[in-house]
Structure 1
Amino acid sequence: MPELTSEDISGLIRGYFKDALSQSIELAHILPRDHLYDQAGEIGSLKKRMQELEALLARRSWPASVQSEAQTLLGTIIPEKLAPVSERFQQLCQGILRAEHENARILAAMLAGKFHEVAPLDPIFAGIVVNDPPPIPGDDISTPAEQTMASVATLFHEYKSKHDWVPKTAADATRVLTIAKSVIGEKKPFKMLGIEDVKAVRDAIASIPPNYVKLTANKGISPKEAIKANTDGQTLSLKTQDKYYTMFRQLLIWANHEGYIDKVPGEGVKLAGSARVDVGAKRKPYSTEQLQTIFASPLYQGHLSETTRHKPGSELIRDGKFWVPLIALYSGMRMGEIVQLLVADIKTQDGIAYFDVSKSEGEDKNLKTQSSVRKVPVHKVLLDLGLLDHGHGPGRMFPDIKKGEDGYYSHNFSKWWGRYTRHIEVSTKDTAFHSFRHCFKDALQAAEAPEYISKALMGHSDKDVHAGYGSGPSLSVMKKTIDRVCYPFELMPMTQVPALEK
């Protein structure tokens, strides 16, 4: 739980005072109209109550009713109760008595007709002005409910899931928001979030055990309990921590833009080691030697069987495992874009075959960003290898690649590629399947491709002011450019054994 700040307690006390003052305005309006109203008696009772409150404040004595009220107020912002001896609890109890004292004084002034004395005198209530009584039950006019940590988190998730996120990102956000709500408290008013809350979420993300929210065994265990039980000290990778913390920061920024909070708290709060994330997370292109090893391996020169691709043999199966790395190398497309291709996504225009990277309503496909929508001409090497002869009918281009447990076709293929590259000994900490995309980008630069064509081929947004004009480079221009892409290694013949299309 984040440490309660003096500002948190002050906010609770001021809110309590405003509610009480609203009730007093109603009394000041109703009592004088009651034929049994005794002005002197009411004012006298209020002054006597003020003396009693002053005595309690002087002794720092909090009656049971005050302590109960304090715990109720705390329950609106934190899930746990505070110990009565704690400094913040004592501060809150004192504030409640000060609120009652100031409210009694103002009500007495209103009943006496001394409205020039109704401004708060206690410094903690400075600037508070309440002119209206509380709404009458049944009135149509109502005050909107105060937004809490839980309600704003829900609104954020619903909005981003509808407009920006793919399902996998939405799932990650659910994990982050679960941690944040557990640490901060679901009932805490969102407008009261401060730097201590931000630090608490950051520290929780850095302390929670790996795969906590993914394990069925953890159901019913809160993130705070999981952190407390994490005695072996294992944590999420720095890259995942950075992703989760950035997502929490997105919540705060979005809430600020939507008016749920006046300013983004804790803007200077950093994740330990975050400066190393960008450097460590950046993938490198495969080297010439690695590319040579990959395309001279059994996957492309003949393997033992469909399930044993890393050992030499007499089979050469041209299925998704065969084609996807080749397409990546000669198109720059992302793994997720390739493995979800439909047969119908390879189209022809003006005699030029191209990949239609897009997503239509009802299609079981996802794209990273809006700029990912594009046409990528099929490289001459892929044409020579017979890609257009692969895949028939209305279905998927690579039906052998099954959807993973996370709902993405890339899930299982990514794991298989990692195993395969380890088997053929080209796997390194700096390279992964995404390295093909880096290879393609470098090859475009070597071919002296203009930047606007490179961005169009790779699905990168172009923020240049001129990019908003025209329809972009023509398919014929992009075809000429992509066919100039080549690599400094020899692509060995893939006809040594009979090829089986699957």
Structure 2
Amino acid sequence: MPELTSEDISGLIRGYFKDAVSQSIELAYILPRDHLYDQAGEIGSLKQRMLELEALLAHRSWPASVQSEAHELLGTILPEKLAPASERFQQLCQGILRADHKNARILAAMLAGKFHEVAPQDPIFVGIAVNEPPPVPGDGTTAPAEQTLASVATLFHAYKAKHDWVAKTAADANRVLALTKSIIGEKKLFKTLGIDDVKAVRDAIASLPPNYVKVAANKGFSPKDAIKANVSGPTLALKTQDKYYTMFRQLLIWGRNEGYIDKVPGEGVKLAGSAKVDAGGNRKPYSREQLQAIFASPLYQGHQSETTRHKPGPALVRDGKFWVPLIALYSGMRMGEIVQLLVTDIKTQDGIAYFDVSTSEGEDKTLKTQSSVRKVPVHKVLLDLGLLDHAHGLARMFPEIKKGEDGYYSHNFSKWWGRYTRQIKVSTKDTAFHSFRHGFKDALQAVEAPEYISKALMGHSDKDVHAGYGSGPTLSVMKKTIDKVVYGIEPVIAEIGSNG
């Protein structure tokens, strides 16, 4: 084997960088002309990518995709593979990551219109021109660029994040798309995706260890590395696998609908166990016995202290932990909708107090779907318990509930509720906080509430053609309906009021 020099490796790295920048110039020309393009989102993703690359460089960690790229580059000048542990191979892997990092910075600068910042500052790339003009439209000497998996994924995410997804869903999708590009390859032409690619993504999702998509990927472990190290270990929960695989399938379907591919590849490829997800994915409502146990527990009848709620005692703290389950029980609102409530979200119209479930710019709130925006009258039981006395000031209703690591107020509360229900022996595999919402729906059916009122109260979209006419049920009609909701545990609830 001919001896490789440092100059040989530098030449490969600089060539790799030139090719990458050339593709970025093309993207910077094409993306802003697409009506689905989200400038802030794309630049934000590039900056996040830069942070990830810096972490890899700091730990001298070369993901499998980088090592594969290194072998491919070396194959242009060597007849056989170079040992991964060799100094030259390590130099090349580091150079590839440096090139990817600088290329991400250059593309972000071009998308932001800051062309004075595109000159590479890394010593190995100094002097490489990055201001070459993109191909002239209609130039017969240059074939139009075909969309790659990476470019279509970017357009797909921008469109869905703008029109369909809340922030959490967009973040989950971003991780799934990153996984997809790692498994298939960013540069693969989207129109050439086939059944083998679909199987590869499906099998990767089914074999990854828990939390890989959220945690391990940021530490430099490639999916293949993680799967190899997890031969007999636990995998993602089946429900999570189904969610991630469904997101991947949405990319393919959207790509077909937008004309980037003729048909959806691998339409018959299923995730093992998906039928079980369909059959058992829904939570059950809390039973009357469970509700009675919850509201007769120390949280509502007296506990040791603010930090010890599951043991009986003289304290009765009426904060978010006290109110959120009660509001869920008598409103059917989602946990995320309740914990982010502002004091000003409890309003009055024609003498009727109601929850204004909505979002406005600067309020730091999110909703699941557009149909989630609604008015929910405050149930008479909540009024009798003194909820309106708790709603004072101009801040959040429950300021003691802090954001979790995912940026959502529901994160920490959900964990606390799971612990509490286990401590009071109410938790089951079929029930969770969302069971309050299921129970509320059943309670509406029990009082024979019309379907259009139930949908309005719960924030479900009504696809009936008649739903597009009029402004929906009045607040007074919804108030009469919601006050009819009972669970047969009202005597226990009344004791809470007497204790207060």
Q: Does the TM-score normalized on the shorter chain lie above 0.5? A: yes
Over 3 Å counting, the alpha-carbon distance change for 1:276 and 1:409 in structure 2 is same
Q: CA offset at residue 341 of structure 1?
A: 0.5
Does residue 1:388 correspond to 2:388, yes or no?
yes
Aligned to 2:138: 141
Name the structure 2 match of 1:368: 368
Aligned to 1:203: 203
Q: Where do residues 127-138 of structure 1 align in structure 2 (5 Å cutoff)?
A: none
Contact 1:182 1:224 in 2 (8 A): no
Residues 276, 81 of structure 1: CA spacing in aligned structure 2 closer, same or farther, 3 A cutoff? farther
> What's the counterpart of residue 482 of structure 2?
482
Q: Distance in 1 between matches of 2:250 and 2:231?
A: 30
TM-score for the superposition, normalised by structure 1: 0.71
1:402, distance to aligned residue in structure 2 (A): 0.6
Q: Does residue 1:460 correspond to 2:460, yes or no?
A: yes
**Counterpart in 2 of 1:325?**
325
Cα distance, 1:365 vs structure 2: 0.5
Give runs of aligned pairs for residues 21-100 of structure 1, distance below 5 A.
none
Note the alpha carbon deviations across 1:461-481, whole angstroms, 9 max, x for none: 111111111000000000000
Aligned residue in 1 for 2:249: 249
Residue 405 of structure 2 aligns with an amino acid whose one-letter code is E
**For residues 336 and 249 of structure 1, what CA distance do their matches in structure 2 show?**
27
Q: Distance in 2 between matches of 1:81 and 1:392?
A: 70
Cα-to-partner distance string for 1:243-267 (whole Å, 9 max, x where unaligned): 0000000000111111111111111
Write the deviation string for residues 154-180 of structure 1: whole angstroms up to 9, x where unpaired: 221222222222221122112211221
| 2:201 corresponds to 1:229 | no
* Distance in structure 2 (CA, Å) of the matches to 1:148 and 1:295: 56
Once residues 218 and 455 of structure 2 are traced to their aligned partners in structure 1, the CA distance between those partners, rounded to angstroms, is 44
350-359 or 229-238, which deviates more: 229-238
1:269-301 Cα distance to aligned partner (Å, 9 max, x none): 110110010222110000010000000000000
Residue type of the partner of 2:450?
A: P
Superposition deviation, residue 231 in structure 1: 2.8
Q: 1:354 to 1:80 in 2, by over 3 A?
A: farther
Please give the alpha-carbon distance, in whole angstroms, between the structure 2 residues aligned to 1:161 and 1:445: 34
Q: What SS is found at the alignment partner of 1:317?
A: coil
2:287 aligns to what?
Answer: 287
Give the conservation status (yes or no) of the 8 Å contact 1:331–1:376.
Answer: yes
SS where residue 213 of structure 1 aligns? coil
Change (3 A) 1:320 1:79: farther
- Please state if 1:378 is matched with 2:378: yes
How far the C-alpha of 1:495 sits from its partner, in A, is 4.8
Q: 1:290 to 1:147 in 2, by over 3 A?
A: same
The equivalent of 1:494 in structure 2 is 496
Task: Name the SS of the counterpart of 1:414 in structure 2.
Answer: helix
Structure 2 matches for 1:94-173, cutoff 5 A? Answer: 141-142=138-139, 143-173=143-173
Question: Separation in 1 of the partners of 2:424 and 2:444?
Answer: 27
State how far apart, in whole Å, the 2-side matches of 1:495 and 1:175 are.
46
**Structure 1's 415 and 80: CA in aligned 2 closer, same or farther, altered over 3 A?**
farther
Residue number in structure 2 paired with 1:337: 337
CA RMSD of aligned residues (A): 2.4
1:152 counterpart letter in structure 2: V
2:269 is matched with 269
CA contact (8 A) 2:179 2:223 kept: yes
Does 2:389 align with 1:417?
no
Distance 1:495 1:448, change over 3 A: closer
Q: Distance in 1 between matches of 2:434 and 2:441?
A: 11
**1:494 corresponds to which letter in structure 2?**
I
Is 1:307 matched with 2:307?
A: yes
Asked if 2 retains the 8 angstrom alpha-carbon contact of 1:285 and 1:439, the reply is yes
- 1:486 Cα shift? 0.5
2:496 partner letter: M
TM-score for both structures, normalised by structure 2: 0.71
Q: Residues 79, 174 of structure 1: CA spacing in aligned structure 2 closer, same or farther, 3 A cutoff?
A: farther
SS state at 1:264 partner:
coil
Q: Is the 8 A contact 2:385 2:497 kept in 1?
A: no
- What is the CA–CA distance in structure 2 between the aligned matches of 1:139 and 1:366, rounded to whole Å? 43
Match of 2:38 in 1: none
Q: Tell me: CA distance 1:418–1:139, structure 2 relative to 1, closer, same or farther (3 Å).
A: closer
Q: Could you tell me how far apart the structure 2 residues matched to 1:300 and 1:147 are?
A: 59
Instruction: For residue 494 of structure 1, give the secondary structure of its aligned residue in structure 2.
Output: helix
TM-superposed deviation, 1:496: 5.8
Provide structure 1 residue ranges, at least 5 long, that are not aligned to the other structure.
Answer: 1-73, 86-136
1:71-113 deviation per Cα after TM superposition (whole angstroms, max 9, x unaligned): xxx98xx99989x99xxxxxxxxxxxxxxxxxxxxxxxxxxxx
Quick one: distance in 1 between partners of 2:251 and 2:321?
39
Q: Kindly state the Cα deviation for residue 138 of structure 1 after the two structures are TM-superposed.
A: 7.6
Q: Aligned partners of 2:480 and 2:371: how far apart in 1?
A: 22
Instruction: Label 1:449 to 1:217 Cα distance change in 2 as closer, same or farther (>3 A).
Output: closer
Per-residue deviation at 1:217? 8.2
What is the identity, as a one-letter code, of the residue corresponding to 2:374? R
SS of the equivalent of 1:318 reads coil
Deviation string 1:315-374 (CA, Å, 9 cap, x unpaired) is 101100000000000000000000010000000000000000011122100011111010
Unmatched runs of 5 consecutive residues or more in structure 2: 1-67, 81-133
> What do residues 136-158 of structure 1 show as CA deviations (whole Å, max 9, x unaligned)?
x9855344321111111122122
Matched residue SS, 1:212? coil
Q: Determine if the alignment matches structure 1 residue 177 to structure 2 residue 174.
A: no
Q: For 1:80 and 1:280, locate their aligned partners in 2 and report how far apart those are by CA, in whole Å.
A: 51
| 8 Å Cα contact 1:79/1:186 also seen in 2 | no
2:432 aligns with: 432
The CA distance in 2 between the partners of 1:188 and 1:80, in whole Å, is 20
What SS is found at the alignment partner of 1:341?
Answer: coil
Please give the alpha-carbon distance, in whole angstroms, between the structure 2 residues aligned to 1:480 and 1:406.
Answer: 38
The higher radius of gyration belongs to 1
Quote the Cα distance in structure 2 between the aligned partners of 1:206 and 1:280: 18
Partner Cα separation in structure 2 for residue 80 and residue 392 of structure 1: 68
Q: Which residue of 2 aligns with 1:258?
A: 258
> Alignment partner of 1:376: what SS?
strand
Q: How many angstroms does 1:213 deviate by?
A: 2.9
- Residues 176 and 295 of structure 1: CA distance in aligned 2, closer, same or farther (over 3 Å): same
Q: How does 1:5-16 map to 2 (within 5 A)?
A: none
1:88 match: none
Alignment partner of 1:354 is 2:351: no
Query: How many Å separate the matches in 2 of 1:412 and 1:159?
Result: 30
Tell me how many residue pairs correspond in the alignment: 373
Measured in 1, the distance between the counterparts of 2:465 and 2:155 equals: 34
Q: Is the 8 A contact 2:165 2:369 kept in 1?
A: no
Measured in 1, the distance between the counterparts of 2:255 and 2:439 equals: 40
